Amino acid sequence: MEARLIDHLPDDDGWQFEPKWDGFRCLAFRDGDEVALMSKSGKPLERYFPEVAGMLRGLKEQRFVVDGEIVLPIGGELSFSALQARLHPAASRIAKLSQETPAQLMLFDCLQVGAKVLIDSPLDARRAALDAFAQALPESVLVSPFTYRVEDARAWLEQTGGALDGVVAKRRDEPYRPGERAMFKHKVERTADCVVGGFRYDKSGTKVASILLGLYDEAGLLHHVGFTSSFSEAEREDLSKLLEPLKGKSAFTGSSPGGASRWAKPGASSEWVALKPSLIAEVAYDQVTGERFRHGTTFKRWRPDKKASQCTFDQLSAELRPEQLEAILKRA
C-alpha cells in the first residue's frame, strides 16, 4: 500500500497518524525457515540485509507477513547513504557492513500472523495484531509510534524542528490495499540558503538549464551540494543576464560538481560555468544524503540580504532516530 502526497493533515475523526521514516520500504515474509524481504518495487532485499533476515528467522513465530521500513542509524541519525551502500555486489562487503553498522526494521503494519490473514481487516485490528506480535521482538526490530490525535501529529512536526521527514495518515477502518495510494503523507518543507557557485547551460548554449548550489563547512570550504532547475522558460532567459556578469574562478574549494546529475532535466549540458560566490538562493529540499541534496531542489527566492559566509551546513536538518521521536511522542 502506497501513499499520496497531501498539503495538510486531515482533522476529521477516524485517522491514525505515524511518523514518516526515511529508509527502504520493506515487506517481510516468513514461512518456517524461509524468510524474504521485498522492496516496494518487488525486488528481494534479504541478500543486502542478512542481519535483518537472520533476526526474523530466529523469532518464535514461524509464519507472518509484516510491513515496515529498513532503517540504519549512524552517529546519532538515520543514514540513507549507509542503506544505499548495502546495495553492493560483493557478499563479503555486505557481511562486513552488516556487522559494523547493523540495520533495523521499523514495523507499522501486520498482514498475517500464523494462519490468520489480516489483509482485509481494518487498520485498528492489524495494529492490535502488530502490537501483540511485537511483544516477542528483539531490540533490532522497532514498532513505529502512532497517535489518533492530529494535534499530536502536528506537535511532532513542530517539536522536531524540521528533522522529521513528515507524517503518514491512514484510515483506521480500511483494509490493507496493496498497489493503491490508499494512505496519505504530509511532508515537511525544508529550506536552505545556498551559494550559487555555478550553472549549466542547456544544449543550445543560450539558456540556463540549472544553477549549482554550495554550502560552507566549518573550515570555510565551499562544497557542491546539489542544484535547482525549477525555472520557467522565460525565467531561464533572465537567468542568463543575471549570471553572465558573475563568471569567475570556481568558488568550490571543497567538493566540486561532476557531470550532469541524473535528476537534471533532459537537454542539460554536463559542462558547468563557475561563478563568483556572491549570489544567494533559497531552495526547498526533501532529504540530504552524504551532505548533498538527494534530489533536485525547488527554487524559492533570491536572498540579497544574506552573505555567502552565512550559507553553512548547519542549516540542514538531520533526521531523528526512532528513540528520539518516541520520547517526543510521549511528551505530546
Within its chain, how far is the Cα of 246 from the centroid?
34
Burial of 207 (0-12, 13-18, 19+ CB in 10 A): middle
Instruction: Indicate the residue type of 240.
Output: S
| Mean pLDDT, range 106-122, rounded to an integer | 97
- What CA–CA distance (Å, rounded) separates 10 from 256? 43
| Mean pLDDT, range 171-177, rounded to an integer | 97
Tally: H helices and E strands in the chain: 7, 20
**Structure confidence at residue 264 (pLDDT):** 47
Question: Grid coordinates standing for 148?
Answer: 489518533
pLDDT > 60? residue 125: yes
Q: Tell me what the pLDDT averaged over the chain comes to.
A: 89
Question: Grid coordinates standing for 29?
Answer: 515474509
**Structure confidence at residue 263 (pLDDT):** 45
DSSP one-letter string for 141-200:
EEE---BS-HHHHHHHHHHTTT-S-EEEEEETTPPP-TTSEEEEEEEPPEEEEEEEEEEE
**Does domain 2-186 bear CATH number 3.30.470.30?**
yes
- Please, which residues have CB within 8 angstroms of residue 269's CB and are 6 or more apart in sequence? 200, 201, 202, 203, 205, 209, 260
Using pLDDT thresholds of 50, 70 and 90, give the confidence band for residue 94: very high
Q: What count of other Cβ atoms lies within 10 Å of the Cβ of residue 22?
A: 23
Catalytic residue among 20, 276, 300, 306: 20
**Structure confidence at residue 270 (pLDDT):** 64
- CB crowding 114-148: b at 16 or more within 10 Å, else e: eeeebeebebeebbebbeebeeebeeebbbbbbbe
Helices 322-331 and 150-159: crossing angle, nearest 10°?
Answer: 120
Using pLDDT thresholds of 50, 70 and 90, give the confidence band for residue 271: confident
Using pLDDT thresholds of 50, 70 and 90, give the confidence band for residue 127: very high
Segments of the chain assigned to CATH 3.30.470.30: 2-186
Is position 96 annotated as part of the catalytic site?
A: no
pLDDT tens-place string over residues 280-293: 999 999 888 878 99
- Please, which residues have CB within 8 angstroms of residue 305's CB and are 6 or more apart in sequence? none
**Structure confidence at residue 328 (pLDDT):** 65
- What CA–CA distance (Å, rounded) separates 37 from 70? 10
Nearest partner of 253 among 271, 274, 269, 270, judged by Cα: 274
- What CA–CA distance (Å, rounded) separates 203 from 160? 43
**Structure confidence at residue 58 (pLDDT):** 92
**Structure confidence at residue 159 (pLDDT):** 77
pTM over 0.85: no
Segments of the chain assigned to CATH 2.40.50.140: 190-315
pLDDT tens-place string over residues 20-55: 988 899 999 999 999 999 998 899 999 999 999 999
Question: Grid coordinates standing for 143?
Answer: 514498532
* CB contact at 8 A, 69 and 26: yes
**Structure confidence at residue 164 (pLDDT):** 75
* CB contact at 8 A, 199 and 208: yes
**Does domain 190-315 bear CATH number 2.40.50.140?**
yes
Using pLDDT thresholds of 50, 70 and 90, give the confidence band for residue 221: very high
